[in-house]
Structure 1
Amino acid sequence: MDPKTIEAYDTHASVFAARYRSGDRVPVERLKLAFGHRAHILDIGVGSGVDMARFLEAGYDVRGLEPSQVLMETALEHFPRLQGRLSQGAIPLQEDELLQRWQSRFDGIFCSAVLMHIAPDRQQLALEEMYRMLKPEGRLLLTVSSNRSGLDEQGRDEYQRYYAELSEEQVLELSQNAGFVQQQTWHDADKWHRVGLVWASYLFEKPKRKLSAG
Structure 2
Amino acid sequence: MDAQTTHCYQKNAKEIFDRYGACCDGASRYFTLSFPPQAKILDIGTGSGRDARQLLELGYDAYGVDPCNEMMSLAITKYPELSGRITEGNLPRLEKPFGGNFDGVLCSAVLMHIPDEQLFDSVFAIRSVLKDNGRLLLSRQFSS
Bigger proportion of residues as helix: 2
- 1:1-214 counterparts in 2 under 5 A? 1-37=1-37, 39-93=39-93, 96=95, 98=96, 101-102=99-100, 105-147=101-143, 196=144
1:26 deviates by: 2.6
**Contact 2:27-2:139 at 8 Å conserved across structures:** no
**Contact 1:38-1:107 at 8 Å conserved across structures:** no
1:153-211 C-alpha deviation (Å, 9 max, x unpaired): xxxxxxxxxxxxxxxxxxxxxxxxxxxxxxxxxxxxxxxxxxx2xxxxxxxxxxxxxxx
**Contact 1:40-1:107 at 8 Å conserved across structures:** yes
For these two proteins, the number of residue pairs brought into alignment is: 144
Q: Percent identity?
A: 36
Q: Distance in 1 between matches of 2:2 and 2:53?
A: 26
1:56-109 C-alpha deviation (Å, 9 max, x unpaired): 000000111000000000101110100000110211116x4x36942xx00000
Q: Which runs of 5+ in 1 are unaligned?
A: 148-195, 197-214
1:29 deviates by: 3.0
1:129 deviates by: 1.0
Q: Distance in 1 between matches of 2:29 and 2:50?
A: 15
Q: Distance in 1 between matches of 2:28 and 2:68?
A: 24
Question: Structure 1 stretch 41-50 or stretch 18-27: which is displaced more?
Answer: 18-27
Higher Rg: 1
1:28 deviates by: 3.3
**Contact 1:10-1:71 at 8 Å conserved across structures:** yes
Give 2:69's aligned amino acid: Q
Q: Distance in 1 between matches of 2:66 and 2:83?
A: 13
- Which structure would you say has the larger RCO, counting Cα contacts within 8 Å and 6 or more residues apart? 2
**Contact 1:38-1:108 at 8 Å conserved across structures:** no
TM score, norm. by length of structure 2: 0.93
